[in-house]
Amino acid sequence: MYRTIVMLTSLAVLLGGAIGCDSTQSYNESNKQAASAITPRAGWTISSSSDVLNPELALDGNVSTAAQSGTNQQGAWVTIDLGKTCLFNTVIVDHGTSEQSYAGRVAIYTSTDGENFTYRFTGPGNRRVSLFSLVTPVLGRYVRLEVVKPQGGNYEPTSRTWALAEIYLR
């Protein structure tokens, strides 16, 4: 079962790259396809709920540093502003050196205006790297990740934090 899930997840990531969402693709302001590629991470900004400390560390390019929630992960969230509308279908959270600091379940929301968010997906967190593959590509400027279930608990506080060393979109 685990092998099947890993194979399906890998396939979803490969398909994500095949539809023009490859984050390694060059970004060109004059490109007429406004949502064909993810904007460069250097242009992203991030905000968070009050219980997530140093959210900017989730975008600093260093997996040795991480944004951290308190030990009560429930309801903790971060919102990334991509700077413009982009097309993507995968959200990847690298937990860095805090590989055990993942959430039990994370919900993904998107928005084009930063005010009205649409629920897209809820998936399980995972040790070291959490991968959230959306069924269909999504057009959005803002991406929100919210803990809906702490790690290991039945919606009860855990002794572990939620660490976000780096966040990637594809």
Angle at 78 between CA 77 and CA 82, to 5 degrees: 150
Tell me the two tokens of residue 30: 């004059």
The number of residues in the chain equals 170
- Distance in angstroms (rounded) separating the CA atoms of residues 120 and 28: 28
Q: Going from the N-terminus, what domains does the chain have, and what CATH number goes with each?
A: 2-26+34-169 (2.60.120.260)
User: In tens digits, what is the pLDDT along the chain, a chain of 170 residues?
Assistant: 444 444 444 444 444 443 334 444 433 444 434 455 788 998 999 999 999 999 999 999 999 999 999 887 889 999 999 999 999 999 999 999 987 899 999 999 999 999 999 999 999 999 999 999 999 999 999 999 999 998 865 555 557 889 999 999 99
What six digits make up the tokens of 33? 């396809």
pTM: 0.76
**The residue to which tokens 């994370």 are assigned:** 106
